[in-house]
Amino acid sequence: MHIEQDKGRLATLTLAALGIVYGDIGTSPLYSVKEVFGSAHHPVPITPENVLGILSLFFWSLIIVVTVKYVSFVMRANNKGEGGIIALMTLALHDGRPGTWQQKLLVMLGLFGAALFYGDGVITPAISVLSAVEGLEIMTPAFKPYIVPVSLLILSGLFLFQRKGTASVGALFGPVMVLWFAVLATFGLLSIAQNPSVLAAINPLHAFHFLLSNAMLGFLALGAVVLCITGAEALYADMGHFGARPIQYAWLGYVMPALLINYFGQGALLLADPGAIENPFYLLAPEWARYPMVILSTVATVIASQAVISGAFSITQQAIQMGYTPRLEIQHTSDKEIGQIYLPAINWLLLLSIIALVIEFGSSSNLAAAYGIAVTGTMLITNVLAIAVAVRLWNWHPARAILGALPFICIDLGFFLANSVKIPDGGWFPLAFGLVIFILMTTWKRGRELLTRRLGEEEMELEPFISGIVAEGVERVPGTAVFMTPNPENVPHAMLHSLKHYKALHEQVVILSVRVCDVPYVPDAERVEVKRLNGNFSQVTVLYGFKDEPDIPSALSMCAEAGLTLDMMDTSFFLGRETLIPRLRSDMAYWRELLFIAMFRNAGSATAFFRIPSNRVVELGSQVVL
């Protein structure tokens, strides 16, 4: 009975994974082959040798990069089941000494990889939806003026829908993608049956022969070949939602075969009719099926876009928890799924960036020049972080870890260098977008450290302070006061201000600090640590994982087991609100000080972020010179 239940759960998760995880890589056939042979930048001539060479590169890229690297190896580097660049970075930092150049380098790489993910998150919806809607042009050129407006309408609708959550339509994602991959394989098989000689491309010698014979053109072609593996990082990033096995089963048993059959089918079509390069994906389908294919492709690209948008929300939540971005408003769109969140600020930032991108580039071919650099940059960073994990966590010898990763580094570096040639044609966009996000994250982290240090210079040790309070007999008033502070060993500034203004303290005082651990989730049994002090003072530390959703009242209710009972209706929360003043000579560049102050001023309130009842909060202000 249990075995049958496990099989049923595995099948359900595998179907769900098809809908969420494989949207990005699953819609690559829309533009990958077209960009290799029909690109306006460096088109590869359509000859039998070139077609077999490119198909061989597609085949072995999917085998080596996706199947061997991600599905077989990188997925082993999971943080309590969670994957993705932030989770990998926290693993890579394991057992390292804070402040060393190695730790700083790993943090910088992890943050830049996360920043590039945002660049990818802008380009993926734009190129996917554009390439799907461009199928209308195959029916009649009269549709051409409407491609950009229709694409913008679909994308705007997708982002406007985000606040309602994806739970209501999420159940449809899996079945739609099952149909999508079935259609890809069916049309691919029909084309291969007309020209089965393309199956010879499975031989890797065709890839080597193409690269050796074409030299520079072969190298430049790699910049378009990489489009077939965009979305590989999503397999790893979404592992926490489904687990490794469903993702691996879906890839090996269904997705990869369907993709390869479709790519080979497009290759067979080009051998039979080189003119089909106009849009080999849609021309692969019979004429009667092309309108339905446009509709199915559009739905599939919307699903692919949804996966990237949800990923951007998730990675932002993790960055907030780890202190790399300001607190932002997080709305929960599902009562059942903890991961179903909506961040309005990120949603509108992505939408405005995508609208600007679609208007600026105008077609999927132009956008393809911008695509790839962010993906390959993230893949290279993943290699370095995976080496650090193998050495620090798995106790591999450094030479073994580097040699094991070397083949993947060489392949990813080849793809990255080929894409770097496209920087003037559009590759600058994800790099510039990623760089802006990187500067914002590092500025926020550095600014918070500087602010904590400035506040720390004026702080007093807690235990001698409590002894003085008890000895002097400071007046105590009924109720409980909770003072939030990042450093529980020192007296919170809010407490000093409160004592100065009110000349009294509450009967029960709780010094509360929140600590984010380098694991995705902290069990409720380990959520709080309580230490009782003299004079009815208590130190409470609340522990969260980097994917946990903070809820301070809920956490404080767990203190009862440690003998600390709090009545929320009789509890006041005292928070500090600092006004920051820049100074010309500081430990941070003046322009970054101004940037940090602007971010600090516009950050979301701690009250909303920690779900503290607003009618129980008292804020006490102070000025701090950075």
Residue whose token pair is 């072995």: 60
Length of the chain, in residues: 626
Q: Which residue has the higher pLDDT, 80 or 209?
A: 209
User: SS3 for 382?
Assistant: helix
At 237-282, the pLDDT tens digits run 777 777 788 888 999 999 999 999 999 999 999 999 999 998 999 9
Both tokens assigned to 264: 């080979």
What pLDDT, on the 0 to 100 scale, is given for residue 410? 94
Whether the Cβ atoms of residue 238 and residue 14 lie closer than 8 Å to each other: no
The burial of 76, by beta-carbon neighbours within 10 Å (0-12 exposed, 13-18 middle, 19 or more buried), is given as: exposed
Provide the residue ranges of all domains of the chain, joining segments of one domain with +: 2-447, 458-625
Pairing relation of β-strands 341-342 and 331-332? antiparallel
pLDDT confidence of 170, banded at 50, 70, 90? low
CATH number of 2-447: 1.20.1740.10
Residue 442: pLDDT over 60: yes
What are the two backbone dihedrals, phi and then psi, of residue 14, each rounded to the nearest 5 degrees? -65, -40
**Alpha helical stretches, state H, 243-289:** 244-250, 256-272, 280-283
Angle, CA of 91, 95 and 97, to the nearest 5°: 115
The per-residue pLDDT for 582 is 86
pLDDT at 166: 62
pLDDT tens per residue across span 493-530: 888 888 888 888 999 999 999 998 878 889 988 999 99
Please report, to the nearest 10 degrees, the dihedral formed by the alpha carbons of residues 233, 236, 237, 243 taken in order.
Answer: 160
Q: What percent of the chain has pLDDT over 90?
A: 43
pLDDT tens-digit readout, 307-327: 888 888 888 888 888 889 998
Query: Phi/psi at 170 (nearest 5 deg)?
Result: -60, -30
DSSP letters spanning 447-499: HHHHHHHHHHTT--BHHHHHHHHHHHT--EEEEEEEEE-S-TTB--HHHHHHH
Strands (E) located in 13-120: none
Q: Is a pLDDT exceeding 90 seen at residue 204?
A: yes
Residue 440 to residues 150, 351, 446, Cα–Cα distance (Å):
33, 19, 10
Average pLDDT, the chain: 87
| 43 pLDDT above the threshold of 80 | yes
